[in-house]
Amino acid sequence: MARTPKIYNATLKEPAESVEFHLETGELKQYDVYQEVGTAKHLVRCDICGLFLPLKGRSAILLQQHRGKGECQKIVKRNSKPKPGLFIPTTFPPEN
């Protein structure tokens, strides 16, 4: 059974700070650093689902593991499905 993720109350770290991670795709992505209210715990926010995750030693491992599991993958699959759009016929009736 999946463990319920901790919900953090966080604000952007002051002074503003960010970290860069190489994602599984090889893309280099920048993430803002947040701080849990009332503690010194640093967090990053998942760009797929918005969940805050602990930032341990500036490592991307927790974020990468999170992005590959559960709710994040459901969101990725849901967003990758083609959406119904406006039907535009590609053939026209023959001219007389």
Query: Is position 96 within any domain?
Result: no
* Structural domain contains residue 30: yes
Q: Looking at the domain assignment, is residue 35 inside a domain? A: yes
Q: What is the pTM of this model?
A: 0.69
**Domain span at residue 42?**
10-72
Instruction: Please provide residue 56's backbone torsions phi and psi, each rounded to the nearest 5 degrees.
Output: -100, 110
For residue 16, give Cα distances in angstroms to 12, 13, 19, 42: 7, 5, 11, 12
Domain count, the chain: 1
In a domain, 58, yes or no: yes
Higher-pLDDT residue of 17, 60: 17
Q: What pLDDT is attached to residue 83? A: 61
What is the model's pLDDT at position 10? 92
Domain annotation covers residue 40: yes
Residue 95 has pLDDT above 80, yes or no: no
Quick: pLDDT tens for 42-80: 999 988 888 898 988 877 788 888 887 777 778 777 777
